[in-house]
Amino acid sequence: MAGPGPAALDAPVLHLRGTVVRGDEDEAGQAWVVGGRITYARPAAPVDAVLEGWVLPGLVDVHCHIGLAADGAVDRATARAQAEADRDSGVLLVRDAGSPADTSWVHAEDDLPRLVRAGHHLARPRRYLRHYARELDSVADLPAAVAEEARRGDGWVKLVADWIDRDLGPEGDLRPLWPREVLVEAVAAAHAEGARVTAHTFATESLDDLLDAGVDGLEHATGADAGHIARMAATGVPVTATLLQVAQFERIAAQGEARYPRFAARMRAMHARRYQHVRDLHDAGVRVLVGTDAGGTLGHGLVVQEMAEMVRAGLPPAEVVAAASWRTRAWLGAPSLDEGDPADLVVLPADPRVDVGVLGAPTAVVLRGRRVR
């Protein structure tokens, strides 16, 4: 992950006062930002501004599609506006979950969040939302395509593991896209390139194959049963809850009701169980990640709403805040607020581990040592 650029040389000196949260049970009473970086040593240079409150490492959204909107890829100005909305919500690190647009230019923009790209998500024709994914005609092409996307991205590859199969007519329902042996080979191909794999999955039927293949993350995973959850806990495979997305399942069910009643019934049941599902994951010890799924049908900048949904589901606010900040930064290999780390942080008027709602009105958002809000 790149540090501050040359612009940091004339960056302001900031004094952070209050509670600087660096990690679980790791706090400091004050810190400074000098040259775009955190220091706990009082600088000789005069302070340009004092920011007071609860200081947290910048928020992380691990399921966010910069460069994608309802109809597919967007132009650069639109992608920039998406990234700005994420940034202004306190999200200073994004792992995208697949984008049809090449957003590698974001890396050079000092005022936009740091971005970990997953390349173009991989699916099959007619087996995902139109214009979103790279569609492979033959399932046998998956391992080679995964290797290509791994080289194109920033260490992640995104697979679409299941979707409605409309060719089944009135029996149309969620079905896996890839045979087990292809998944095994595809995940191995990503790992050989040094990339990790995460998979979109709503269905129950995909999960054992994905876990057998050794995926590094699961998106939604609404079809998980107790056995799958135990496997995730044992192997440390995290799940991005995307509760704002799952909240739409009722509407999706209503749209599909007439033609695909089985599919509609399944989506409706998962919608009804969504809070219990996230509680079950958490109670079993599965790492539950914060992801808004912004960029398809959902807007950008909704991280606080997603966190509020996770709290509504019954997760402790302190766990949700840790997942949205330092713990997931560590999991992605990104810095937090240790000595010398880039100053990517939010300043809040109260402790969000008591009430995540305070994240909705930050006192300041500092990116690469500069105040952006």
Give how far the C-alpha of residue 233 lies from the chain's centroid of Cα atoms, to the nearest Å: 19
Taking the complex as a whole, how short is the minimal distance between the CB of residue 121 and Zn ion, in angstroms? 8
Q: Please report, as ranges, the residues that interact with Zn ion according to CB under 5 A.
A: 97, 293
Phi, psi torsion values for 103, nearest 5 degrees: -110, 20
Taking the complex as a whole, how short is the minimal distance between the CB of residue 293 and Zn ion, in angstroms? 4
Taking the complex as a whole, how short is the minimal distance between the CB of residue 289 and Zn ion, in angstroms? 13
100/362 with CB nearer Zn ion: 100
110, 261, 299, 307 from 61: Cα distances, Å = 18, 34, 13, 10
199/322 with CB nearer Zn ion: 199
Taking the complex as a whole, how short is the minimal distance between the CB of residue 94 and Zn ion, in angstroms? 12
Strands 14-23 and 26-34: antiparallel
Q: Are 278 and 243 in contact (CB under 8 A)?
A: yes
Taking the complex as a whole, how short is the minimal distance between the CB of residue 65 and Zn ion, in angstroms? 6
Q: What are the tokens at 366?
A: 């500092």
Strands 162-165 and 173-176: antiparallel
Taking the complex as a whole, how short is the minimal distance between the CB of residue 122 and Zn ion, in angstroms? 13
Taking the complex as a whole, how short is the minimal distance between the CB of residue 118 and Zn ion, in angstroms? 10
Q: What are the tokens at 294?
A: 């912004």
Q: What are the tokens at 86?
A: 């994420």
Q: CB-based contacts of 242: which residues, under 8 Å, 6+ apart?
A: 63, 219, 220, 291, 292, 293, 306
51/68 with CB nearer Zn ion: 68
148/293 with CB nearer Zn ion: 293
21/101 with CB nearer Zn ion: 101
Q: Are 373 and 364 in contact (CB under 8 A)?
A: yes
8/332 with CB nearer Zn ion: 332
Taking the complex as a whole, how short is the minimal distance between the CB of residue 200 and Zn ion, in angstroms? 6
Q: What are the tokens at 160?
A: 């679409």
Q: Are 173 and 213 in contact (CB under 8 A)?
A: no
Give how far the C-alpha of residue 176 lies from the chain's centroid of Cα atoms, to the nearest Å: 23
216/293 with CB nearer Zn ion: 293
55/97 with CB nearer Zn ion: 97
DSSP annotation string for 286-336: PPEEP---BTTTBPSS-HHHHHHHHHHTT--HHHHHHHTTHHHHHHHT---
